[in-house]
Amino acid sequence: MKRIGVFTSGGDAPGMNAAIRAVVRTGVAAGLEVVGIRSGYEGMIAGDLIPLGPRDVANTLQRGGTMLFTARSKEFLTPEGRAKAAANLRTAGVEGLVCIGGDGSYRGALKLMQEHDIPVVGAPGTIDNDLYGSDYTIGFDTAVNIALDAIDRIRDTAASHSRVFFIEVMGRHAGFIALEVGIAGGAEVIVLPEDPVDPSVCAEVIRDSSRKGKRSSIVVVAEGGYPGGAQGLAEAVKTRSGIEPKVTVLGHIQRGGSPTAMDRVLASRLGAAGVEALLAGKRGVAVGQINDEIALTPLEEAVQQRKDINRLKYKLAQVLAL
């Protein structure tokens, strides 16, 4: 193997640049040429490939977003689109790929390998932390800390005015961010897609908190935790209890910004591990970190297996909210 490609796909996540940097520098150190594919699968189809060396990725470790950009590609969902992408890779002499992205990115990489025999390795880049095969995904820790900073600020206002705030964090299908930030932010209620909440129960918890002498309450809601998200749940609770909650939707601020030290180190380890896996002849696998060790998981397993929240943490959150 003489030349490999690296690209980012799907939603951006803080730490993607650190992963790109690690792929480039690990590849060059091993005697490989590295090319970057801009705008994910869309750029692969368009032939938007650029050579990358150690200096090209200098001063990127601390930057959020992705220097290679990202996009969603409808054309890549078709066999014709994937064939065009594979032809461009072969023309450019690319013999292996490191794909940094989430579930959809993994599925695309797997299709490309199965249909066109191009070796691919996935690295988990998503703030949702929902990919099987790694304890943590690139960007998750940063997203949690950004959300936590916002919740700490909102709690100051909530306590000053004796109010109830419903705060929506990202997580359409997975509640990892909501659970982590809910514990760290001392939320009275945490609402997850994995454990649907009854608005009447939520209202009673808030009333009980008030009876215990709490001047304010924070309800952290994953965007997929209730129909209509935090706004939908707040309205349902108001209807049942007369409580007048305030709603804050944090949205895309959780994706941007400089990655935390944890995300920089994780991304660096996984980017390097992706190159090492290709050099070892591995294909169709995802690199991950499990119990602080690098682990390889077949891509098919990574996209088929569901990663559950930590149920012990969830139970702890309920105890600590007393």
Is 172 part of any known ligand binding site? yes
Q: What are the two backbone dihedrals, phi and then psi, of residue 182, each rounded to the nearest 5 degrees? A: -65, -40
Is 21 part of any known ligand binding site? yes
DSSP state of 185: T
Is 253 part of any known ligand binding site? yes
Is 25 part of any known ligand binding site? yes
Is 63 part of any known ligand binding site? no
Is 306 part of any known ligand binding site? no
Is 60 part of any known ligand binding site? no
Is 195 part of any known ligand binding site? no
Number of H helices, E strands in the chain: 11, 11
Q: What are the two backbone dihedrals, phi and then psi, of residue 166, each rounded to the nearest 5 degrees? A: -100, 120
Is 163 part of any known ligand binding site? yes
Token pair belonging to 155: 């709690």
Token pair belonging to 169: 């964090």
User: Which SS3 state, helix, strand or coil, does residue 11 take?
Assistant: coil
Is 107 part of any known ligand binding site? no
Token pair belonging to 181: 């930030």
Q: Are strands 285-290 and 120-124 parallel, antiparallel or unpaired?
A: parallel
Asked whether 127 and 139 are in contact (CB, 8 A), the reply is yes
Is 22 part of any known ligand binding site? yes
Is 319 part of any known ligand binding site? no
CA–CA distances in Å: residue 321 to residues 106, 179, 190, 235, 317? 38, 13, 10, 22, 6
Is 24 part of any known ligand binding site? yes
152 included as an active-site residue: no
Is 155 part of any known ligand binding site? yes
Exposure on the CB side of residue 42, measured as CA atoms within 13 A:
12
Please state, in angstroms and rounded to a whole number, the distance separating the CA atoms of residues 234 and 239.
Answer: 9
Is 153 part of any known ligand binding site? no
**Per annotation, catalytic residue among 12, 128, 130, 141:** 128
Please state, in angstroms and rounded to a whole number, the distance separating the CA atoms of residues 303 and 298.
Answer: 9
Asked whether 60 and 20 are in contact (CB, 8 A), the reply is yes
Binding-site members are: 11, 21-25, 72-73, 102-105, 126-128, 155, 163, 170-172, 186-188, 212, 214-216, 223, 246, 252-255
Known binding site for substrate: residues?
Answer: 126-128, 163, 170-172, 223, 246, 252-255
Q: Which residues define the annotated binding site for Mg(2+)? A: 103
The binding site for ADP comprises 21-25, 155, 186-188, 212, 214-216
Active site residues: 128
